[in-house]
Structure 1
Amino acid sequence: MSCEFLQQISSMVDFLDVVHMLYQLPIGVRESLRACIWAELQRRMAMPEPELTTLGPELSELDTKLLLDLPIQLMDRLSNDSVMLVVELVQGAPEQLLALTPLHQAALAERALKALAPKETPISQEVLETLGPLVGFLGIDSTRRIPLPILLSHLSQLQGFCLGETFATELGWLLLQEPVLGKPELWSRDEIEQAGRLVFTLSAEAISLIPREALGPETLERLLGKQQSWEQSRVGHLCGKSQLAHKKTALVAGIVHPAVEGLQDPVPNCADIRGTFPAAWSATQIAEMELSDFEDCLSLFAGDPGLGPEELQAAMGKAKQLWGPPRGFRPEQILQLGRLLIGLGERELQELTLVDWGVLSSLGQIDGWSSVQLRAVVSSFLRQSGRHVSHLDFIYLTALGYTLCGLRPEELQHISSWEFSQAALFLGSLHLPCSEAQLEALAYLLVLPGGFGPVSNWGPEIFTEIGTIAAGIPDLALSALLRGQIQGLTPLAISVIPAPKFAVVFNPIQLSSLTRGQAAAVTPEQMAYLSPEQRRAVAWAQHEGKEIPEQRGRSSAWGLCDWFHASWALTLTISFFGHLL
């Protein structure tokens, strides 16, 4: 389904029927088509009667899934009845709420609250229960409208919700107020049990004040287990991983470090590791573990992404004590070690037997290799298998995964363009640790005859398919992309474009055409390189054309877009005449 096809549908009724059908498809609506749908709908809504009467001024004829996906700027047009339909949908399918950007989630939560409770009045228990998962995305002012006794009685429900950063920070402060759980230094096991995994909404400093006697091994294991279960649940996975490493470290400090200063740090056994987590322990403590304890907990070490370089080397040292030198590792042992293999040196990696496809695929899925290690893995595989880069088919390209970035740019040029185009769907879903030159070499493969042809001919679906590889498209080609092509770029692809390049290739007009997901993916580093006009364009896209607070009183959203066009046109004109002079 193309944007052009939708634009050619003359009847509003037929247009809505097609849109409703698209939103019912299990594969969902791609970002570029979604942006087209809402732009076209708003264009039609601006038309004179009788077109608008088909839809209604409050968008009452829209399907519930469309109401959930409504751009921020149109939310105020919804009737309270329509808002409640969205609330019911979110209650039954919270994962659909988590597919939205943080700005959209917050706007939807505030609109739902507006429909349920008059502004500035206290939020009742009934309203909290009706909001359901939307509670986790309320802003500071709205959160402070929740009476503390009601908040205390609602803690168990909050443990099952995804909490936005703003709400979580405010909740962490409210938990420490006297009517709720009080000062952390006075907490007992009862307060910890009440807080559950919400203890991680506290600051690391507040967590460190909780008495050691309240955080016994059983309490810690139960608390960390709750958090792990949440992270592994479907909703928890979609919610995204919070940066909790420093908070978890503060929580287990009483177990990991001695109570009396000057005493030697304890050596953990497997029960200690299970009751905490491997990354909580230092390299020295891991190295001093009994071999039997390490073997019993090997799977925990292999699955902990928080282990640093020194801890990985220490754990890998224990594995070598257990199984001997790496050259003798059997395929099943290599698979067991998982991420611990990052603790091997260059020569040791070259000694691993990598001809087994499963082993190669396992190494290719590990993120965190150094450039030297990437080179060691991929060169060792080519040597052992007797394969040349030009003979790698899409199955092996897919298996190489992250380690594909161990090939030099001149080697990558020898990959078959047809085979690479088949593997691009998977490889483009990875945050490849390739250099800019390597990404350019990979992107070049896709414009060759065996790939997708010239970039100028690509539709948005090709940009979506190749994912992060699009970051390697040359500056001139990226800067020439049309609105629909830009909207085909995946959010991950947007985020991996080097910041200087991002600032050079996209002008304010192009940045204002980003979809909400793309605009939300722009990194702080990229924003730092942008001009004030470019930053305003990104903010405008993040708010989907809704009037931005700092622009209020100066221009409307659509006026701001016109300003982008006029400003950029003036810049180009000045530049053009500057060249002539």
Structure 2
Amino acid sequence: MDIVARILLEPAAFGPVNNWNQTTLSQVDRFLFFLPNNKLQEISLALMTVGRIERLFMSQHRWERGNVGIHCSDENERRRLSEKQQFVLQFFLGFLKIHPLSPTPMVPTCEILHTTAPSAWTSLLSMSSLAFSNCLELMGHDPFLASYQRSSALKKAKQSVIAQLGGIAIELSPEELSSLRLTERSSIAALGAVRAWSNRQLSALFTTVLNSTEQSPSQLDSSTLVAMGYIVCGAQTTEITSFNAVEFSKAVLWLGRLRLSCSEEQLLAFVGLLTHRLAFGPMSSWGTAVFIEIGVLAAGLPDMAMSALVNEQIEGITPAAVSMIPPDKFASKMC
């Protein structure tokens, strides 16, 4: 490789690299990967299009699989070539911001990964979930993936798989759930739609969502709370009281439809959030519509509030909420 590079760089061969044109690149072909990095940087950015780079990779692949190439490289040479290919992609497709004219980094497609190599890309995590899943096997067979690439790819693969597991995920232990990285809303929603979690699993999942999103309970917005679904029952009462009342009131229309497995203390804390002046306001002002909207969370009404309900309010309590109200609360109302 070094000998060929020296021949290509001799003035009598193709002239200065910064004067090379499309014709020159076509003649140099796959041997371009043999040039040192500082010489590669002298090639005009305009000449090194995605199509040109793909053709270079394909030319190298054809040679490696040919009658001669199949016998002509060892592990060290392949690794060295892989590093050079990675530099070509990173420099000409914008991952290395060496100067202001560097292009915007490109997000690879599954098709491009097939013509180039997964290990040559540093933006695998930017791929869509579908494209990533379709190319996961290809990534797994690339021997030159760096440790950080394998680690990040595994995390994304877990997210993709988790979103598909559904109820199967309840077989994961609390410890296994704690090791997940739930940053994508789709992954959170997939687990939040499962009802059969144990209390320990719910607690682990709630903590995992906070750790993965790097948020405190007070920072959770309505869309995240909706995605969490049944997982909200994994929050401690002290954590619930720190929720943003306005964001929680926006999510309650969805959460109120779920047969939540929350404790009476948790439901009471949820109701407390809804009485915030910027949510639904004092409970005495709630009408039928509010009780219909909060659904099962009405089961968290304190005893005194339950005994003070008027007919208009009682009419808004949904059957699901009634089924969750402890008998002693009904007794206090009857008295």
TM-score by length of 1: 0.31
Alpha-carbon offset, residue 492 of structure 1: 0.6
Contact 2:230–2:261 (8 Å) recurs in 1: yes
Contact 2:164–2:190 (8 Å) recurs in 1: no
Which residue identity does 1:430 align to in structure 2? Answer: L
Residue-by-residue CA offset, 1:44-68 (whole Å, 9 max, x unaligned): xxxxxxxxxxxxxxxxxxxxxxxxx
Q: Percent same amino acid at aligned positions?
A: 41
2:86 is matched with which residue?
none
Which residue identity does 1:365 align to in structure 2? Answer: A
Residue-by-residue CA offset, 1:413-436 (whole Å, 9 max, x unaligned): 011111111111000000111000
In 2, distance between residues paired with 1:330 and 1:377? 15
2:201 is matched with which residue?
373
Alpha-carbon offset, residue 498 of structure 1: 1.9
Tell me, yes or no, if structure 1 residue 445 matches structure 2 residue 273: yes
Residue-by-residue CA offset, 1:205-252 (whole Å, 9 max, x unaligned): xxxxxxxxxxxxxxxxxxxxxxxxxxxxxxxxxxxxxxxxxxxxxxxx
In 2, distance between residues paired with 1:385 and 1:432? 23
In 1, distance between residues paired with 2:170 and 2:252? 25
In 2, distance between residues paired with 1:478 and 1:356? 39
**Partner SS for 2:275:** coil
Tell me, yes or no, if structure 1 residue 505 matches structure 2 residue 332: yes
2:53 is matched with which residue?
none
In 2, distance between residues paired with 1:330 and 1:435? 31
Tell me, yes or no, if structure 1 residue 388 matches structure 2 residue 216: yes
In 2, distance between residues paired with 1:378 and 1:341? 15
Which residue identity does 1:454 align to in structure 2? Answer: P
1:340 is matched with which residue?
168
Where do residues 155-554 of structure 1 align in structure 2 (5 Å cutoff)? 329-502=157-330, 504-507=331-334
Contact 1:339–1:366 (8 Å) recurs in 2: yes
In 2, distance between residues paired with 1:399 and 1:328? 19
Which residue identity does 1:505 align to in structure 2? Answer: S
Alpha-carbon offset, residue 506 of structure 1: 2.4
Alpha-carbon offset, residue 388 of structure 1: 0.8
In 2, distance between residues paired with 1:477 and 1:501? 10
Which residue identity does 1:376 align to in structure 2? Answer: A
In 1, distance between residues paired with 2:234 and 2:157? 22
Contact 2:306–2:329 (8 Å) recurs in 1: no
Alpha-carbon offset, residue 327 of structure 1: 6.5
Which residue identity does 1:404 align to in structure 2? Answer: V
In 1, distance between residues paired with 2:239 and 2:314? 29
Contact 1:417–1:449 (8 Å) recurs in 2: no
Q: 1:404 to 1:445 in 2, by over 3 A?
A: same
Alpha-carbon offset, residue 474 of structure 1: 0.5
Alpha-carbon offset, residue 475 of structure 1: 0.6
**Partner SS for 2:194:** coil
In 2, distance between residues paired with 1:385 and 1:421? 21
Where do residues 88-127 of structure 1 align in structure 2 (5 Å cutoff)? none
In 2, distance between residues paired with 1:493 and 1:505? 17
In 2, distance between residues paired with 1:328 and 1:448? 39
Contact 1:463–1:488 (8 Å) recurs in 2: yes
Contact 1:327–1:351 (8 Å) recurs in 2: no
In 1, distance between residues paired with 2:210 and 2:176? 16
TM-score by length of 2: 0.53
Alpha-carbon offset, residue 448 of structure 1: 1.1
Contact 2:291–2:298 (8 Å) recurs in 1: yes
2:33 is matched with which residue?
none
Alpha-carbon offset, residue 329 of structure 1: 4.6
In 1, distance between residues paired with 2:226 and 2:291? 18
Contact 2:217–2:243 (8 Å) recurs in 1: yes
In 2, distance between residues paired with 1:386 and 1:331? 16
Which residue identity does 1:441 align to in structure 2? Answer: A
Alpha-carbon offset, residue 499 of structure 1: 2.7
Unaligned runs of 5+ in 1: 1-325, 508-567, 569-581
**Partner SS for 1:330:** helix
In 2, distance between residues paired with 1:350 and 1:417? 27
In 2, distance between residues paired with 1:435 and 1:388? 21
Alpha-carbon offset, residue 381 of structure 1: 1.1
1:25 is matched with which residue?
none
1:244 is matched with which residue?
none
In 1, distance between residues paired with 2:170 and 2:158? 17
Contact 1:331–1:353 (8 Å) recurs in 2: yes
Q: 1:338 to 1:361 in 2, by over 3 A?
A: same
In 2, distance between residues paired with 1:339 and 1:333? 12
In 2, distance between residues paired with 1:386 and 1:327? 16
Contact 2:199–2:234 (8 Å) recurs in 1: yes
Alpha-carbon offset, residue 341 of structure 1: 0.6
Which residue identity does 1:463 align to in structure 2? Answer: F
In 2, distance between residues paired with 1:437 and 1:335? 31
Residue-by-residue CA offset, 1:515-543 (whole Å, 9 max, x unaligned): xxxxxxxxxxxxxxxxxxxxxxxxxxxxx
In 2, distance between residues paired with 1:329 and 1:499? 47
Contact 1:327–1:348 (8 Å) recurs in 2: no
**RMSD, aligned CA:** 1.5
Which residue identity does 2:169 align to in structure 1? Answer: L
